[in-house]
Amino acid sequence: MIGYILVVSTPYFAKPDAAGNARLRDLPAGAYEVRAWHPQQRAAAEPKSVSLEAGAATTVSFAVDPALRKAKYKPPLDRLRY
């Protein structure tokens, strides 16, 4: 059994649904840095800067290598060191 805990320093976060879509609601207007994380990614995805205006809807997309989603997960050996 494998479990993941990701600690973030913001109250704005979301877990994607089965289709890979996540939605943040009721964000105040302002500038944000959006980051995506996946437990099987080998390198961090580049953060994206977003500026929200009051009442406007904005979409940000991130791509995860499809091969990672289909593969049965095995943690890299360097993560198993104690």
> For the whole model, what pTM was predicted?
0.59
Condensed to tens digits (0 to 9), the pLDDT of residues 15-50 reads 888 888 888 888 888 898 888 888 777 777 788 888
C-alpha to C-alpha distance for 11 and 13, rounded to whole angstroms:
6
In the chain, domain spans? 30-80
Residue 73: pLDDT band by 50, 70, 90 thresholds?
low
What DSSP assignment string belongs to 13-54?
-----TTS-----SPPSEEEEE----TT-SSPPPPEEEEE-T
What would the pLDDT profile of 48-72 be if each residue is shown by its tens digit? 888 888 877 777 877 766 555 555 5
CA dist., res. 25 & res. 10, Å (int): 14
pLDDT attached to residue 74: 62
d(CA 82, CA 80): 6
